[in-house]
Chains A and B, each alone.
Chain A
Amino acid sequence: MPRPTSALLPAALALVGLALAGCSTDGDPIEASGSLRVVGASVAVPPNPTQASVSLTIDNGTDRPDTLLGVSSPASAAASVHRSEIDERGVATMAPVDELVIPARSRVVFEPGGLHVMLDRLAEPLVAGDAVELTLTFAEAGAHTLTVPVVAPGATPNETEHDLHVP
């Protein structure tokens, strides 16, 4: 695995990135772990049976940024990454995110009111206790399939971990 010449450099770059992009920045600094991991993935049973929103956290503990290029699931006809935002007028809007950079040594959280994976046109209504498969495709780490537990509305997300070992 390539080592940084200075342990401070990636962190410094990440901080510059945060400052430049202001409130649309993704990623909070984390410790180096040497791997890209997806943790705490869960999907709550939605009130609208045709559409659900997956929460998860991507930890990039490597020294290189990666890019989430796409998502897919056999559970739904369409899957996509969206970002919800509330603008200065208090209006809630949502926009598709085609590519999402996960900066080196950073954590990006997908949670209600922000980023989420939307499963649209679910083949069947979700049932708490079941699970759905979700494939995340990264530019560097490649495609990885997670098993995402379906939880009751308002339930505490399961602490599942998916280690995506970077080649």
Chain B
Amino acid sequence: MSPELPHWSRRRFLGAGAVVSAAVALGACNLDRGSSPDESAREGGPTDGWSGERLDPPWTKPDVTFTDLDGAPFPFAERTAGKLSLLFFGYTNCPDICPVYLSTLASAREAIGTGPGSRPDVYFVGVDLARDTPEVVQAYLANIDPTFQGLTGSEEVIAEALAAIYAPPVELGEPDADGSYEVGHPSWVTVYQAEDDRAHRRYPYGVRQQDWVKDLPRLAAGEST
């Protein structure tokens, strides 16, 4: 059986024409074997009492209009104005990083229970346009946390949104004999705060549930330094 994705015959960069700023280096080897994600976060993490990396100057929101899972336009900056908003780019065929990260966030929300930081808006942007259909994303998020909101968009919209978080374009791998292919996507969650609608921190993969439980109330309370 030949793959049904002829236009992805080689590694390809979605929206490669978009202007992309230099990515902020996370540091390689954050995920050494033999250490759990928890340990790597602790070892490589900042020492200022926060688990997220400080963004200085803070980042503005992507000025793009995504599409929500009902097919309606979702102007991101406008719809998230004045709300603590967490933004993650992933794909539903992502075997471990995406579900682990999203499940960690879901469990942190549950652990906080009520009060400040317990109800951040969590947005998952499916970047694998061929497979991340609204139905698939809906079912995927329902299995993790039904309050998480799924978004999609055209190649151009996603490329522009990625540029706003200083991430390279989505990378689609070459399909294997079964038509499966890998997708390169940013591994961090960007946190936009309610007071100024800017991101002062981003959270790399590996941040522990208990660290989110500590940081989310502070983020909700408007702390940033």
Q: Contact residues of A with B, CB < 8 Å?
A: 22-23, 25-28, 44-53, 77-78, 82, 84-96, 107-109, 111-116, 118, 120-121, 153-154
Contacts and interface: CB of A to CB of B under 8 A. Distances in A.
B143 interface: yes
Nearest to A26: B33
B93 A92 contact: no
B68 interface: no
Residue among A49, A52, A91, A95 having the largest count of chain B Cβ atoms under 10 Å: A91
A47 B178 CA distance: 21
Interface in B98-113: 99-100, 102-103, 107
A91 B187 contact: yes
B144 interface: yes
B143 A113 contact: no
Contact of B204 (A84, A90, A111, A115): A90
B95 A95 contact: no
20 contacts: A44-B99, A48-B136, A49-B139, A51-B95, A89-B26, A90-B26, A91-B167, A91-B185, A91-B186, A92-B205, A94-B182, A109-B34, A113-B40, A113-B96, A121-B178, A153-B99, A153-B103, A153-B143, A154-B103, A154-B107
Nearest to A46: B99
B188 A90 contact: yes
Contact of B95 (A23, A82, A88, A121): A82
B36 interface: yes
Contacts, number: 130
Contacts of B173: 93-94
A93 B99 contact: no
Nearest to B40: A113
A34 B150 CA distance: 50
Contact of A28 (B25, B33, B37, B143): B33
Contacts of A86: 26, 28, 30-31, 97, 187, 204-205
Contact of A114 (B24, B31, B103): B31
A154 B75 CA distance: 33
B67 interface: no
A112 B144 CA distance: 16
B24 A112 contact: no
